[in-house]
Amino acid sequence: MMVGRHSLGRTVLAMWLLLPLLLGTLPAQADEAARLSIVTGDLPPYAIEGQPQHPGLHVEVVEQLLKRTGNPVKVSFYPWARAIALAQHGPHTAILPLTRTPEREAQYTWLVKLDTQHFVFINRQGDKPITTLEQARKLRIVVLRGSPNLAQLLGRQFNEAQIVQATKLEDMVRMVERGIVDALYGGNVINMEKIRATGRNPASFQTGMLVESADMWLAGGKDFGEHEAGAWRLAYEAMAKDGALLRIYRSYGLPMPQASAP
């Protein structure tokens, strides 16, 4: 019996000695879980990789609103498909600008609406403009991997065999330019800006029919709460009211979204 009591006493003493060490790890673990990451891809003019002084319209908007809420996080750039994966599976990770679609609705927490984009076909000037889906279904099309564009086309009875997925916008433009594909399909502003930003003549390309429009959001994984999202929306609204949002849009030569205009 005496041995049992001594053994129990040593066990209790060891637990008391370890308790401060165990408790000491909890704040660090909590901070790690709460650490915020914002990711994006090279999607000019909204997110521009390699230009820290001019990182993109949506990047500047989001970094400003996070600064106002006391969480000054810098946006990190990745290939778009990887950015999507990080936002879906990484802890406390948000992504911009993400197109809000029915397929994605339940996969994300939709934090702040940023803009609206319009999806079109773009091909070479001199080729026949793409004005109907029936015409486009006979062509070879390239889309950005990880974007909703593949699903948009498949939902309109396109054959998957005629659609190529590229990792970067630059690759999409190059494939159209070299005749590897007949056209690219994606956001009109993003793709035409990439054409300009890479030194190409925008007049060498033409925009075809508008297929659909969709809103672009700052969106996060399912571990974002309404309290956090609400604070970000209030900061965004304050930026719209005090003119900060307008100044950022003007610096990129783009009009503000109608609903956000002061």
| Closest among 203, 205, 135, 137 to 169, alpha carbons compared | 205
Does the fold of domain 117-214 match that of domain 36-115+216-260? Answer: yes
Q: How many CB atoms lie within 10 A of CB 210?
A: 11
Whether 10 has a pLDDT exceeding 70, the answer reads no
Q: For the chain, what are the domain ranges? A: 36-115+216-260, 117-214
Any idea which fold 36-115+216-260 has? D-Maltodextrin-Binding Protein; domain 2 (3.40.190)
Instruction: Please compute Rg for the chain using Cα positions.
Output: 24
Please tell me the least confidently modeled range out of 19-23, 59-63, 189-193: 19-23
Task: Give CA torsion, residues 198, 182, 115, 91, to 10 deg.
Answer: -80
0.85 cut: is pTM over it? no
CATH of 117-214, one of 3.40.190.10, 3.30.450.40, 3.60.10.10, 3.90.79.10: 3.40.190.10
Contacts 24+ apart (CB under 8 A), 67-70: 68/235, 68/238, 68/239, 69/231, 69/232, 69/235
CA atoms 63, 42, 85, 143: torsion sign: positive
Helix (H, G, I), strand (E, B) or coil at 170: helix
The 10s digit of each residue's pLDDT in 145-202 is 999 999 999 999 999 999 999 999 999 999 999 999 999 999 999 999 999 999 999 9
3-state secondary structure of 86: helix
For the sheet containing 141-144, what is the strand order?
75-77, 37-40, 93-99, 205-220, 109-124, 183-187, 141-144, 163-166
Q: Is the pLDDT of residue 243 over 50?
A: yes
pLDDT at position 260 is 55
pLDDT score of 27 more than 60: no
pLDDT of residue 17: 45
**Which residue in this structure is represented by tokens 């990451």?**
37
Mark 103-125 as b/e (b = at least 16 C-beta within 10 Å). Answer: ebeeebbbbbbbbbbebbbbbee
Using the predicted structure, report yes or no on whether residue 22 has a pLDDT greater than 80. Answer: no
- Strand-pairing partners, residue 249, are none
Cα distance between residue 244 and residue 209, in whole Å: 34
Q: What are phi and psi of 104, to 5 degrees?
A: -90, -10
What pairs with residue 185 in β-bridges?
A: 121
Alpha-helical segments (H) within 69-107: 80-89
CB 85 within 8 A of CB 95: no
Q: How far apart are CA 206 and CA 182, in angstroms?
A: 12
pLDDT tens track for 102-142: 999 999 999 999 999 999 999 999 999 999 999 999 999 99
Question: Is the predicted pLDDT of residue 32 greater than 50, yes or no?
Answer: no
- 4 pLDDT band, cuts 50/70/90, is low
Q: What pLDDT, in 10s, does the model give residues 69-111?
A: 999 999 999 999 999 999 999 999 999 999 999 999 999 999 9
